[in-house]
Amino acid sequence: MSGSEVLWLSVFISLVLCCVLGGITLRINESKGYSGGFQWGFFLGILGIVIVACRPYEISYYYEIIAELKKDPQDAQFQDSMLTKLKNISSETPKSSDSVKATKRCDYCDAVNDANSSFCSKCGKSFKRQ
Ligand SMILES: [Zn+2]
C-alpha cells in the first residue's frame, strides 16, 4: 500500500467514525426533545456524546408527553408508560431552587413550615436559630 492510499484510508475510516458518533449524539439529542445534534458527535466525538448526554431535557418534551397523554385518555397502559417516562425525566433533570421549596418540621406539632419562617404556622412556637 502506498503512502497516499494509507492517508485516504485513514481519512475514510475517521469520516465513517465521525458519522457513527454523530448518529449517536443525534439520537441522544432527539430522545431529549431537541432537534439535530449530529454535529456534536461528528466534530467533538466522544466529548460530544458526553456533552449531549449531560444536557437537560428540552421543556417542549414535557409538553409533547402531556399532549400524547391527552390524545388517548382511555388507554390506561399507554398513560402509565408515558407517566413512567415523565418520572424518569424529572428524576434526571436537576431541580431548580424555585421548584423545591425548603421546608422544616415543627418540633412540637410536626407541621410543615417554610424554612425561612421563624414561627410555626400551626402552633405558633418559635423555631430555634441554627
Ligand atoms: Zn408547631
Whether residues 44 and 74 share a domain: the answer is no
In DSSP notation, 15-66 reads HHHHHHHHHHHHHHHHHTT-S--HHHHHHHTHHHHHHHHHSPPPHHHHHHHH
Instruction: Provide the pLDDT confidence category of residue 129 given band limits of 50, 70 and 90.
Output: low
Is residue 7 assigned to a domain? yes
Cell of 96: 431548580
What is the percent of the chain where pLDDT is above 70?
A: 88
Tell which residue, 24, 33, 30, has the closest CA to residue 57. Answer: 33
Q: Residue 45: give the domain boundaries.
A: 3-54
Residue 128 Cα to ligand 1 midpoint, Å, equals 12
Residue 126 Cα to ligand 1 midpoint, Å, equals 8
Tell which residue, 115, 120, 117, 111, has the closest CA to residue 103. Answer: 115
Rounded CA-CA distance 82/118 in Å is 41
In this prediction, residue 130 carries a pLDDT of: 46
Whether residues 37 and 78 share a domain: the answer is no
Instruction: Provide the pLDDT confidence category of residue 41 given band limits of 50, 70 and 90.
Output: very high
pLDDT digits (tens, 9 = 90+) for 10-34: 999 999 999 999 999 999 988 887 8
Is residue 121 assigned to a domain? yes
Rounded CA-CA distance 22/12 in Å is 15
Which residues make up the environment of ion ligand 1, defined by Cβ < 5 Å? 106, 108-109, 111, 120, 122-123
Residue 98 Cα to ligand 1 midpoint, Å, equals 24
pLDDT digits (tens, 9 = 90+) for 54-109: 888 777 777 777 788 777 777 788 778 877 877 777 666 555 555 566 888 888 89
Say how many C-beta atoms besides its own lie within 10 A of residue 53's C-beta.
13
Q: What mean pLDDT, rounded, does the chain reach?
A: 83
Residue 102 Cα to ligand 1 midpoint, Å, equals 17
What is the percent of the chain where pLDDT is above 90?
A: 32
Whether residues 85 and 110 share a domain: the answer is no
Residue 110 Cα to ligand 1 midpoint, Å, equals 6
Count of domains forming the chain: 3
Residue 119 Cα to ligand 1 midpoint, Å, equals 8
